[in-house]
Amino acid sequence: MSLTDILSPSDIAAALRDCQAPDSFSPKKFFQISGMSKKTSSQLKEIFRILDNDQSGFIEEDELKYFLQRFECGARVLTASETKTFLAAADHDGDGKIGAEEFQEMVQS
């Protein structure tokens, strides 16, 4: 399964266009524009599995910087500042990585 099986390609493209400039990425805005914030819990779990590149059950900081590239291979890498801000916003238990439940909470809140 790919992200375009769950999310509209045009919504993904619009979300990526919105954050093309370095340090312009806002997770909340990206989730809204891409349509992720309207998805069901099971769809978000599937999106999480796709984003969890090493299938560890967590999205770690080094995976997070390539977040946009999981949606489109030509997309930019998140800056160090964006990556740290994204991680801090989602990592509720402070273990330095984002679990499936943390991801779902962030997208749906």
Residue 106 phi, psi (nearest 5): -65, -45
In 34-85, DSSP assigns E strands to 58-60
93 labeled binding residue: yes
65 labeled binding residue: no
- pLDDT at site 34: 98
In a domain, 3, yes or no: no
Work out the widest C-alpha separation in the chain, in whole angstroms: 34
| Residue 1 confidence (pLDDT) above 90 | no
Q: Which residue has the tokens 């997309």?
A: 75
- Total structural domains within the chain: 1
In a domain, 1, yes or no: no
Cα 22 vs. chain centroid, distance in angstroms?
16
Q: Which domain holds residue 76?
A: 8-108
Alpha-carbon torsion angle 53, 37, 40, 9, nearest 10? -60
- pLDDT at site 61: 94
102 labeled binding residue: yes
pLDDT (tens digit per residue) in 34-82? 999 999 999 999 999 999 999 999 999 999 999 999 999 999 999 999 9
58 labeled binding residue: yes
63 labeled binding residue: yes
61 labeled binding residue: no
- The CATH number assigned to the domain holding 93 equals 1.10.238.10
In a domain, 51, yes or no: yes
5 labeled binding residue: no
Cα 76 vs. chain centroid, distance in angstroms?
13
In a domain, 67, yes or no: yes
Q: What is the pTM of this model?
A: 0.94
In a domain, 25, yes or no: yes
In a domain, 87, yes or no: yes
